A and B are shown apart, each in its own frame.
Chain A
Amino acid sequence: AQSVTQPDARVTVSEGASLQLRCKYSYSGTPYLFWYVQYPRQGLQLLLKYYSGDPVVQGVNGFEAEFIKSNSSFHLRKASVHWSDSAVYFCAVSDNNNAPRFGAGTKLSVKP
């Protein structure tokens, strides 16, 4: 089955700084890839998704991610973070109608 690794459990950045959250997946074919965000005591919400085509996908609130097949990666980026971006971010992968698998999550803290 497919799997996801998010190597950074916690990331702290200053407000206005750029951000990259790392995600690597394990799957032999071309997967469907997602980033979700979780605010405190809430369910997960979709930030962006990649199915095919342009490897750089845009999401909500200025987030983007790049699918790099040769590196099995789908890192999340944002040019300038805001304090309201503080949350837990999850990378997920699915394929062929199989249930999505999620990474362990990265907790982002934005310092004022």
Chain B
Amino acid sequence: EAAVTQSPRNKVAVTGGKVTLSCNQTNNHNNMYWYRQDTGHGLRLIHYSYGAGSTEKGDIPDGYKASRPSQENFSLILELATPSQTSVYFCASGQGNTEVFFGKGTRLTVV
């Protein structure tokens, strides 16, 4: 069954440390997205990609990098994690303007 899988599901990181959130999709979709979810803000777009080797900045890219080494994989990298990056992160995949399919989320706590 086609799916979007995120790892880890939960992560505690120290301030100033490096964090990598991984996402794998078996939907064979060109587009992949990273969002963060915070109370009162809904889902906000961090980075996205149209295919392997491409990354684009979303609405709140500061403090984050993204990497799309293959069609299936899309990573979100926090080089120097800060407590303000404590959130739930969702990866999604989609094709064109059709609906997107979400992973189950990663709960990140930066202490």
Query: Which A residues lie at the B interface, using CB under 8 A?
Result: 1, 6, 9, 32, 34, 41-46, 49, 51, 90, 94-97, 99-105
Q: How far is the CB of A92 from chain B (nearest CB, A)?
A: 8
What separation, in Å, do the CA atoms of A91 and B18 have in the docked complex? 33
What separation, in Å, do the CA atoms of A99 and B43 have in the docked complex? 12
Interface centre among B4, B40, B42, B105 (most CB of A within 10 A): B42
Interface status of B104 (Cβ within 8 A of chain A): yes
Q: Considering the complex, which residues of chain B in the window 88-111 have a beta carbon less than 8 Å from any beta carbon of chain A?
A: 90, 92, 94, 96-100, 102-105
Interface status of B48 (Cβ within 8 A of chain A): yes
Is there an interface contact between B97 and A51, defined as CB atoms closer than 8 Å? yes
Interface status of B75 (Cβ within 8 A of chain A): no
What separation, in Å, do the CA atoms of A95 and B98 have in the docked complex? 10
What separation, in Å, do the CA atoms of A95 and B50 have in the docked complex? 14
Given A1-B59, A43-B104, A43-B105, are A34 and B99 neighbors across the interface (CB < 8 Å)?
Answer: yes
Q: Can you give 10 contacting A-B residue pairs, CB < 8 Å?
A: A34-B99, A41-B104, A41-B105, A42-B104, A44-B92, A44-B102, A51-B97, A97-B31, A97-B50, A103-B42
Interface status of B33 (Cβ within 8 A of chain A): yes
Query: In the complex, what residues of B have CB within 8 A of residue A32's CB?
Result: 97-98
Query: In the complex, what residues of B have CB within 8 A of residue A9's CB?
Result: 40
Query: In the complex, what residues of B have CB within 8 A of residue A90's CB?
Result: 42-43
What separation, in Å, do the CA atoms of A45 and B97 have in the docked complex? 16
The 3 nearest A-B residue pairs measured at CB: A43-B102, A104-B42, A102-B43
Given A6-B42, A9-B40, are A97 and B97 neighbors across the interface (CB < 8 Å)?
Answer: yes
Q: How far is the CB of B21 from chain A (nearest CB, A)?
A: 14
What separation, in Å, do the CA atoms of A51 and B59 have in the docked complex? 24
